[in-house]
Amino acid sequence: MRITHEDKARESRAAGVIEAKKAGATLTGVEIQSDKYKHGLPDDLPAWYRPLPFCYQSTGVETRFTNGLDPEPRSRNVFSFHKPETLLEWLTEDVPAEALQAAERFSIYSKPFTFYKRLQKLPPLIEEGLWSAQIKAIKNLEKSLSENRPRALIQMATGSGKTFTAVTFIYRLLKFAKARRVLFLVDRKTLGAQTLKEFQQYDSPYSPFKFTEEFIVQHLQSGSIDKTARVCISTIQRLYSILKGEEIDPALEEESLFDHSALYKEPPPVEYNPIIPPETFDVIVTDECHRSIYNLWRQVLDYFDSSIIGLTATPNKQTFGFFNQNLVMEYPHEQAVADGVNVNYDVYRIRTRITQAGSKVDAGYFIDKRDRETRAVRWERLDEELEYNANQLDTDVVAIDQIRTVIKSFRDNLFKEIFPGRKDVPKTLVFAKDDSHAEDIMKIIREEFAKGNEFCQKITYKTTGVSPEQLIRDFRTNYFPRIAVTVDMISTGTDIKPLEIVFFMRNIKSRSFFEQMKGRGVRVINPNDLQSVTPDAKAKTHFIIVDAVGVCEQDKTDSRPMEKRPSISLEKLLQAVALGNTEPDVISSIAGRLSRIEKRLSREEKEEIKKINNGQGIKDLMATLVQSIDPDRHIESAKTDFGNDSPSEEQIKQASNKIIKEWNVW
């Protein structure tokens, strides 16, 4: 393989070797043979470097590539051979200009820095403005990338700043590691617009410029990629169409794959596209994408010779496997609540039964008594599709009479039990089954609350007259609408911080999708911003899930309400712990109460608590409590204490009691 530099009198130099084998051959088995060839170039033949840096082994069906310029060269599968222009760029990156003037002296100069080599020399992370979880995620990711680990998964609770974390590490990869281009994949088009805004608003701590003033960011909405763009934001459907050179129906990008994955059949295989070669992106970031991206659409990811970074709040075993089990960050909802990054929630259950005499309703708070699950169990369950039994779970609330009964119950209990003492209807998001169902719900809400059109709006893809994006902005920043009814448009990723009620009037089959929908309510907001849209709210201490179909009663959720003993006062709970009570329900309830108290305290009150508690604030106490009831921690402790890799339930319980007693801060 020879590469010619245009400034070297048209003289070509050897750059690598290609070892061809018949189809079916195991390519890793011929790497030693290729290695001999790269060392065996005759001295009278000009070369860019000795030994030759690039090695390919190919059967025509499968191709592997090793870049000898990397710090620890390691072969990898590639879709096809890289373009000569790309190899030339790699050969001349960061090479002194004088080295390019004399071929005979070229090899004495240091080899060029590759992307992976530059990753090992990143400057320290400026931590100001980042939460502790974001700092840990970025540092762990950069360490993983510097070790040439091609895939990494970041799990962070919904609302904990995953996108800002991603923008931060992407900026560092572009500026300091000189990544050629980054692809940012989103679940649907509206989230692409929201992500673009995150890039536009990002202020660099390393320069006086915003992100988009230093680097061009393109939200792909046509059939071509801007060659000057350093970040491209796209859906997987759009990217596939570009690779195929085909037009795409914009409507296909509007709906979430979480609720419509069954509509897609396996697309035809992608083929080599010289306009968009596999080396187009150095890094691909997948942000809360439906798991079909890792099977149905996997060929699109496999086409590119890129490091792949996954961002998710709800990993499952399939996702975990795709990322080679390389979990660089795990930040669950309970820990996010303890850190003040999320708010926790309560479940208010409305049960309806349609009989010949009409609809009946039972309403009240649902107390989830199930213990927290280990990571392995959570991810196993999140991978399952749910099967419903009519005897176990309510059906979708779709009958007009049933909808009216539920809405009446919601209205009558809103200011008595759900948010007692309030007068303004809290910002409420209702999930409907389809557009027609949403229409019925919207009409009945307006009637039963005796309000006008602006009070309740439908936000679906079929909304006309004003864009759904504008309705979402109004819902987020204006007093009206108070209630929004949607199908899945606001189900994933959409940031509506003032939201205080998430209302389920439809079933959800996907555990991951349910976590995403539920996560719309966890966002924190400062009191002034909340009061600008909900004047009589003092602070967002928690949110409420109103469950009219029983979704929260099924064993489908990763995060759960922390409140387990609502009828017992905080004082009595603290007394129980002081007297030696180590029940996880009690510890969890205390942590949940403290999280709400913390949101109401002034800065002076928080400082006063630190003074009388040896420098520990309420967040520190909550973090200790949450960690003490972590089931994964209990298992690891039991393994150590009893010298058993598979401890019994009794041994795990003993380890649990020991940890809680050791960490008893009272």
pLDDT of residue 276: 95
pLDDT of residue 104: 41
SS3 142: helix
pLDDT of residue 103: 45
CA distance 220 to 405: 45
pLDDT of residue 538: 93
Residue-wise pLDDT tens digits, 350-369: 987 654 344 556 666 655 54
pLDDT of residue 394: 41
Residue at token pair 């849209």: 533
pLDDT of residue 655: 80
Write the single-letter amino acid at 63. Answer: T
pLDDT of residue 291: 59
Strands ordered across the beta sheet of 501-504: 358-366, 344-355, 542-547, 501-504, 428-431, 483-486, 456-458
CA distance 499 to 481: 12
Among candidates 573, 151, 549, 156, which has minimal Cα distance to 342? 156
Rg (CA), the chain: 28
Angle at which helices 468-477 and 189-201 cross, to 10°:
50
Write the single-letter amino acid at 107. Answer: S
DSSP assignment letter at 280: G
CA dist 505 to 430, 476, 593, 665, Å? 7, 21, 28, 41
Among candidates 187, 540, 103, which has minimal Cα distance to 340? 540
pLDDT of residue 466: 79
pLDDT of residue 183: 98
Q: What is the pTM of this model?
A: 0.78
The first and second tokens of residue 169, run together, are 């590490």
CA distance 152 to 469: 32
Question: Any residues with CB less than 8 A from the CB of 553 and at least 6 apart, and which?
Answer: 349, 366, 393, 547
SS3 48: coil
Residue-wise pLDDT tens digits, 209-257: 999 999 999 999 888 999 999 999 999 889 989 998 888 877 777 766 5
Residue at token pair 């907001």: 525
The first and second tokens of residue 118, run together, are 């530059």
Among candidates 654, 660, 650, which has minimal Cα distance to 630? 660
CA dist 444 to 165, 312, 406, 479, 505, Å? 41, 36, 10, 20, 13
Among candidates 45, 515, 37, which has minimal Cα distance to 54? 37
Task: Name the stretches of the chain with pLDDT < 70.
Answer: 2, 4-11, 95-110, 255-267, 289-292, 295, 353-397, 463-464, 490-493, 554-564, 582, 661-666
CA dist 60 to 78, 305, 624, Å? 11, 17, 56
